[in-house]
Amino acid sequence: MNKMVIYRDLGLIDYKEAWDYQEKLLNDIINVKIVNRTTNNQQPTTNYLLFCEHPHVYTLGKSGSEKHLLINEKQLAEKKATYYKINRGGDITYHGPGQIVGYPILDLDNFFTDIHKYLRYLEEMVILTLAEYGISSGRIKGQTGVWLDAEDPLKARKICAMGVRCSRWVTMHGFAMNVNSDLSYFNSIVPCGIIDKAVTSLDKELGRKVDVNEVKEKLKKHFAALFETELITEKETV
């Protein structure tokens, strides 16, 4: 078992480029696992945590509805946004500058083979990070992600969306935390297919812009503690 995690910050990167990169890392890990099943010479699998930001883009998960994208191709172009149907769970969401997107590419055989526990750990990482800014957050039963005023249906608003894929216990895709996001882009979708709840961001809640790198460091700290791992920082090599 290898519980070390390689951390790479990909900066601002095109969504499709990051998606292809995730697929490459996932397939590399799966190939090692396949070989390990046929030999006594066991090779450790590698784990990754990728952070990045994307240019404006809408992504639709495999369980989502295209009706939740409320604009047409011309309007997408006017907003300088792109649109992809992708192979994660969940419905439609938005990514853009000022949002921290995290892609853990983990072999859960190195940690625990429980996808629900995995999602709860990602949520807890965000919850603990928000607490450092004096913001109380939590979960809504039956809905993945992190919410403010989760217990009040009239005030509940999502600050972090999640959608993952898992193949042979190797994960990809992940979470999107709104830090200094332009929330107007969410007006063009039904976020995560939920029609009766709002979306928010860290800067909106605090009433000031937030240092994105500072937030990344807090997320990394809590990720390492929850997954009982050590992060090894490497430069991106997409």
Per the listing, tokens 């072999």 go with 107
Answer with the residue of higher pLDDT: 192 or 147.
147
Question: So what's the pLDDT on residue 196?
Answer: 54
Based on the residue annotation, tell me whether 160 is a catalytic residue of this protein. Answer: no
The one catalytic residue among 52, 160, 166, 192? 192
Q: Which of 219, 209, 157, 164 is nearest to 182 (CA)?
A: 209
Question: So what's the pLDDT on residue 40?
Answer: 87
Compute the average pLDDT of residues 58-78.
88
Compute the average pLDDT of residues 59-84.
89
In sign, the C-alpha dihedral spanning 148, 175, 107, 60 is positive
Res 192 pLDDT > 70: no
pLDDT digits (tens, 9 = 90+) for 23-46: 999 999 999 999 999 988 899 999
Q: Which of 140, 151, 117 is nearest to 226 (CA)?
A: 117
Identify whether the C-beta of residue 173 lies closer than 8 Å to the C-beta of residue 90: no
Banded model confidence at residue 176, pLDDT cuts 50, 70, 90: very high
Compute the average pLDDT of residues 73-84.
92
Which amino acid is it at 126? Answer: V
Identify whether the C-beta of residue 98 lies closer than 8 Å to the C-beta of residue 187: no
CATH superfamily of 5-233: Bira Bifunctional Protein; Domain 2 (3.30.930.10)
Compute the average pLDDT of residues 163-192.
92
Identify whether the C-beta of residue 167 lies closer than 8 Å to the C-beta of residue 151: no
* This prediction's pTM: 0.93
Determine what percent of the chain is predicted with pLDDT higher than 90.
Answer: 76
